Amino acid sequence: MMKKLICAVILFALLMNCIVFLPFAVAEENVLKIAVINQSSAHNLPTEEAFFKSNPNATIEYRLYTEEQFNTMMLTGKMGCDLVILPYNYALNMAKKGYLTAVNQVLGLDGYPEQLLDVSQLLLMEDGVFGLPTSVWQTCWIWDISVGKKAGIAMPENAWTWEDYAACARNFPKDTDGDGKADIYLMYGSCVLACPAFQSVNTDLFKEYVGKYDEFDTFAKKYLDLFREIIVSDALLPMSDDSGAEVVLQGGYNGNPINLIDAGIDHSDGIVSYIEGQEGYRFLTPPLMDSSNVTYKGNMNVCAMPKSAANKELAKAFLQAMISDSALDYAMFMEDEDLVGKNPPKYNYYDSTGSFYPQFQERNNANVYTVSAGRDIQVISFLYSDEAYAQAQDFREKLSVDTIMMGRDFYDAAWNYLQEWYLGNMSDEELTRNMQYLFEVAKGVR
């Protein structure tokens, strides 16, 4: 009797385990499920509000996954979402592997929507447009004209190269008051270990390389000497912390005037607006590897529709909302910005307390953030001038982004090697060999 009872208990436990794995993929009619792998990707106030205008009874459910969870879902064929909002290289990878539907076909368009920032060269594949941009981020540099004049150095042309940058750096630092101490620098951050901004510039060199060369040797022969000169240049001002661009713009760094400042051009810190409002500052692009190919590195998030989407109608409505006037007329600021319209928005969603920033909560073993119609969001006029917006969008359209699935680990590893090399613990040959290995691993065999 006891044996039978134990057998029954074990079998019941087994059965319960099996039940857990059964798919309960019942499509909920009025719920649009969007998968994201970072919290800020779920911050899409203008599109959401435009979506709710045509679907007032619908609910948007963002589901936050780790990259591993997300890949596992695809591996097991249990995506369970109607749309995805992902970094560009993730979406591109999904498109290449055949997981995505061409959104232009869903929307009944011939090609890329013309009302959006033209980054179509990145989003077109054989089947059509595989996704629409939700946010774009790039780095811009800022030139202080008055400091440049004081130093007697003309502002470099836009679309300058790293060779131009190195040539410019050779003029710094300057002692303008004749006290024997340098008082004008080209840029902050002479100690690479203490300068995150310049670190990212350095890795940009390698990011740029990834798309252009097949072997690290080619890059090494051409750039290592130049790179070493740039990194050890006295033109860079030592810094001890990571001051924001605006702080440096207003007061120099530790009282030292400097010429160049590295800043994000995602509008969040108002840099474009600030320099437009200040006579003494001009926007300058980061240096290029090749002046005949003007592209600037950055990041982009993409909204795409998986082929397995259960609720295709709501997914289509969300995509329609993304390119609608009622979405593009509004801007939103906080971490990820959705200024992806070609023309400047008219209004600004103003959320001073962050009440409408995504707050995920655990529900049924998933991190979920739900949005419904009826939110009362404060609206103000759009902050920036048409000219500033156009200038920024012109720059942003020359976007180049990582196409390889490298991840943060790649840059950490690359930077570790560069540090060892810079500190003299690694020879040029060793650096070349190690970087070659990193790139081979990152690119993969196919």
Partner 1 sequence: MKSAAPRRSNPLIFPARDALWLLPGAVMFCLCYLLPYGMSFGSSFLGESLASGFVGLENYRVLLGDSIYWLSLKNTLLFLALAIGVTLLLSVALAHVLFSYRFLQPFVVVLLIPVFLPASSMAALWCAMMGSRSPLLQLVSMKAEQWKYLSLLLLFVWKNAGAATSLLLVGLRQIEPSILSAAQIDGASKRVLLCKMELPLLRAMLAFALIYLTMNGVRVFRESYLLYGGYPPQTLYFVQHYINSYFVRLDYGLLSSAAVVFSNLVLVLFYLLWHLLRRGEEEGT
Q: What count of other Cβ atoms lies within 10 Å of the Cβ of residue 149? A: 12
CB of 272 to partner 1, least distance (A): 35
Binds partner 1 by CB under 8 A, chosen from 93, 203, 278, 295: 93
DSSP H helical segments within 262-311, as ranges?
271-277
Token digits for 169?
Answer: 């750096």
Token digits for 263?
Answer: 């800043």
Q: Which residues contact 418 (CB under 8 A, 6 or more apart)?
A: 192, 202, 203, 431
Binds partner 1 by CB under 8 A, chosen from 318, 410, 431, 432: 410
Question: Does residue 394 touch partner 1 according to CB under 8 A?
Answer: no
E strand map for 406-446: none
DSSP string, 75-118: HTT----SEEEEEHHHHHHHHHTT-EE-HHHHHT-SSS-TTB-S
Question: Does residue 278 touch partner 1 according to CB under 8 A?
Answer: no
With 0-12 CB in 10 A as exposed, 13-18 as middle and 19+ as buried, what is 161?
Answer: middle
Four-CA torsion 436, 442, 444, 446, nearest 10 degrees: -110
Cα gap 27→32, rounded to integer Å: 10
Question: Does residue 325 touch partner 1 according to CB under 8 A?
Answer: no
Question: Does residue 71 touch partner 1 according to CB under 8 A?
Answer: yes
Cα gap 446→441, rounded to integer Å: 11
Question: Does residue 14 touch partner 1 according to CB under 8 A?
Answer: yes
CB of 94 to partner 1, least distance (A): 7
Binds partner 1 by CB under 8 A, chosen from 38, 59, 74, 382: 74
Question: Does residue 420 touch partner 1 according to CB under 8 A?
Answer: yes
CB of 26 to partner 1, least distance (A): 24
Binds partner 1 by CB under 8 A, chosen from 279, 424, 425, 429: 425
Segment interacting with partner 1, rule: CB under 8 A, options 68-76, 165-173, 316-324, 388-396:
68-76
Cα gap 185→195, rounded to integer Å: 15
CB of 264 to partner 1, least distance (A): 25
Measured from the CB atom, is 94 or 289 closer to partner 1?
94
CB of 402 to partner 1, least distance (A): 13
Sole residue written with tokens 């390698």 = 206
Is residue 191 left, alpha or beta, with left meaning phi > 0 and alpha meaning psi from -120 to 50? beta
Question: Does residue 96 touch partner 1 according to CB under 8 A?
Answer: yes
Measured from the CB atom, is 332 or 431 closer to partner 1?
431
Question: Does residue 97 touch partner 1 according to CB under 8 A?
Answer: yes
Question: Does residue 405 touch partner 1 according to CB under 8 A?
Answer: yes
CB of 173 to partner 1, least distance (A): 30
Cis upstream peptide for 173 (omega within 30°): yes
Binds partner 1 by CB under 8 A, chosen from 242, 354, 416, 428: 416
Question: Does residue 445 touch partner 1 according to CB under 8 A?
Answer: yes
Measured from the CB atom, is 231 or 340 closer to partner 1?
231
Binding site for partner 1 (CB under 8 A): 7, 10-11, 14, 67-68, 71, 74-75, 93-94, 96-99, 307, 405, 407-410, 412-414, 416, 420, 425-426, 433-434, 437-438, 440-442, 444-446
